[in-house]
Structure 1
Amino acid sequence: MTISISQVNIYVEDQQRAVDFWTGKMGFTITTDMPYGEDRWIDVEPPGGGTRLVIHKAAPDWPAPGLVKDGKPNYVMFQADDIVKAHAELAARGVRFTQEPTQQPWGWSAVFSDDDGNLFHLGQGESPAT
């Protein structure tokens, strides 16, 4: 049996602002954008493919922003082959990092924020190129 993750839901206050972040700043591609009730069903995919993010409009009673609680990141973790290079490129595009790349016992870790305040991990299991 093979099991994989096809989609991860990200809840946002403004879907278009989120699309602009994920496509313009992160370099993702829109794979689905269609009406979904009063809102839209939007999937974005990272460069090179992989697990898609579904950008959902958060309900009015949803705790905003997204899944952040007490300033702790949610558990969506992105992997970079060179975290230093990825950090530099993403920061140059306007991605806000709340934690610069730092060495951890298991590898390297950084934390960035989308425009709704959701926090995400960016990791690398081995030492970055110097």
Structure 2
Amino acid sequence: MAINVSKVTLYVQDQAAALDFWTRQVGFEVTTDQPYGPDTRWIEVSPPGGGPGLVLFKAGPEWPALSEEQPNYVLFDTEDIVKTHEDLAARGVVFDTPPKQEPWGWSAVFLDNESHRFHLTQR
């Protein structure tokens, strides 16, 4: 039996700003955007060409936003980390760790519009 990752939920304070970041700056595509209760929407974005998506879910008392005490373990990979870093940085994505060669491979860390950290590695 094969089980695959289909989506990862990212709890955000501002869904519109998160949607703008993940689509305009990172280049993901909207796969779902529909009402989900009175004050929120169900928004899913995915990388071009498919793959596991992110659910940009509005944080609330029962679903808290990420914080420094609650790190984010979402990791992304790319074929060419240096080129991807250049492209994303040109679109305004902030990297607190630019691409560097580690003993286990290439790695970088970027921040989204709410300062969540995401690891980027090279395949």
Q: TM-score range by the shorter chain?
A: over 0.9
* Alpha-carbon distance between aligned partners in 1 of 2:7 and 2:67, rounded to the nearest angstrom: 19
Do the aligned partners of residues 99 and 73 (structure 1) sit closer, same or farther apart at CA in structure 2, a change above 3 Å counting? farther
Secondary structure at the aligned position of 2:76 is classed as strand
Runs of 4+ in structure 1 displaced over 4 angstroms?
A: 60-63
* Alpha-carbon distance between aligned partners in 1 of 2:93 and 2:27, rounded to the nearest angstrom: 11
| 1:42 equivalent in structure 2 | 43
Amino acid at match of 1:53: L
| 1:128 equivalent in structure 2 | none
How many aligned residue pairs are there? 122
Gap regions ≥5 residues in structure 1:
126-130
Q: Deviations over 1:86-107 (max 9, x none)?
A: 0000000000101010111110
* Alpha-carbon distance between aligned partners in 1 of 2:71 and 2:49, rounded to the nearest angstrom: 24
Aligned with 1:83 (options 81, 84, 106): 81
* Alpha-carbon distance between aligned partners in 2 of 1:7 and 1:117, rounded to the nearest angstrom: 21
Amino acid at match of 1:67: L
Please report the TM-score for the alignment, with normalisation by the length of structure 2: 0.92
| 1:108 equivalent in structure 2 | 106
Please report the TM-score for the alignment, with normalisation by the length of structure 1: 0.88
> What is the deviation of 1:42?
0.3
> What is the deviation of 1:61?
6.6
> What is the deviation of 1:68?
3.8
Gap regions ≥5 residues in structure 2:
none
Q: CA RMSD in A?
A: 1.6
Alignment of 1:1-130 (within 5 A): 1-38=1-38, 39-60=40-61, 63=64, 66-70=65-69, 73-125=71-123
> What is the deviation of 1:62?
5.4
Q: Deviations over 1:103-127 (max 9, x none)?
A: 11110000001001111000014xx
28-37 or 52-61: bigger deviation: 52-61
Amino acid at match of 1:36: Y
